[in-house]
Amino acid sequence: MPLSPVELEALLLSLRISGVAVLFSLPPALLCAFVLARTAFPGKVLVDGLVHLPLVLPPVVMGYLLLITLGTRAPIGGWLLDTFGIRLVFSWTGAAVAAGIVTFPFQVRAMRLSLEAVDPGLEAAARSLGATRADVFASVTLPLMSPGIVAGVITAFAASLGEFGAIITFVSNVPGETQTLPLAIYSAIQTPGNEAAAARLAALSIGLALAGLLSAEVAGRQARRLIGR
């Protein structure tokens, strides 16, 4: 199934956008998971809801919200443009921001579940053996929650590849810049006589999604074996 240069470009762009999106949302997701799993504070329910909002919000609404906050004439977007010359609208970095935010809950959920499964008794044992809190986190907590981190990252990556509504709303459909696989499929369907391209890209999407899910399963199992569970 040979891909045309345009289709190949869409594939590579999708992979790049998803990669950057997951990479940059991983540290804040970890922090969120930690706060939600290990702390208690008034308004925690609200934070929990906010983190999970992208799961239930229509993606187009997400895109709209991004547009009115990060658009060039919006408060944050304007400041980014004036201060750093960063323009998110119509650029692949904007697509990565949209994908990162929409798939954020996937990462937080998986990490939080795995963190809640870590026995605090093991952390107390590590502390009694002379490890500082940061040391305990790095040497005990993080390795023990690694199956959750791996699963969260892969699921978020696979979901990023399929993100459509938020991306097209926020950064539009620019071939070579913001036209990811789903957007390319959409364009192909809209263009008469391009049914074959649409079918190829759709098959590619299905393959990628399946590979993502499978590798999440395999990697999770591998990580669990590594930590002796």
- 23 scored as a contact of another protein (CB under 8 A): no
Taking CB under 8 A as the criterion, the residue among 117, 174, 203, 226 binding another protein is 226
Residue 138 beta carbon to another protein: minimum distance, rounded to whole angstroms: 12
Only one of the segments 10-18, 19-27, 93-101, 118-126 lies at the binding site for another protein (rule: CB under 8 A); that segment is 118-126
Return all residues near 118 (Cβ < 8 A) that are at least 6 apart. 140, 141, 144, 145
Taking CB under 8 A as the criterion, the residue among 31, 68, 117, 125 binding another protein is 125
- 195 scored as a contact of another protein (CB under 8 A): no
Residue 40 beta carbon to another protein: minimum distance, rounded to whole angstroms: 17
For CA atoms 219, 143, 117, 35, the dihedral sign is: negative
Q: HEC profile for the chain?
A: CCCCHHHHHHHHHHHHHHHHHHHHHHHHHHHHHHHHHHCCCCCHHHHHHHHHHHHHCCHHHHHHHHHHHHCCCCHHHHHHHHHHCCCCCCCHHHHHHHHHHHCHHHHHHHHHHHHHCCCHHHHHHHHHCCCCHHHHHHHHHHHHCHHHHHHHHHHHHHHHHCCCHHHHHHHCCCCCCCCCHHHHHHHHHHCCCCHHHHHHHHHHHHHHHHHHHHHHHHHHHHHHHHCCC
**Closer residue to another protein, CB minimum distance, 76 or 124:** 124
**Closer residue to another protein, CB minimum distance, 23 or 124:** 124
Residue 92 beta carbon to another protein: minimum distance, rounded to whole angstroms: 38
Which string of x and - marks every residue 126-155 that binds another protein (by CB under 8 A)? xxxxxxx--x---xx--xx-----------
Residues binding another protein: what is the number (CB under 8 A)?
21
Taking CB under 8 A as the criterion, the residue among 12, 23, 117, 124 binding another protein is 124
**Closer residue to another protein, CB minimum distance, 108 or 136:** 136
- 122 scored as a contact of another protein (CB under 8 A): yes
**Closer residue to another protein, CB minimum distance, 85 or 121:** 121
Residue 193 beta carbon to another protein: minimum distance, rounded to whole angstroms: 56
- Tokens 């569970």 correspond to what residue? 229
Binding site for another protein (CB under 8 A): 119, 121-122, 124-132, 135, 139-140, 143-144, 226-229
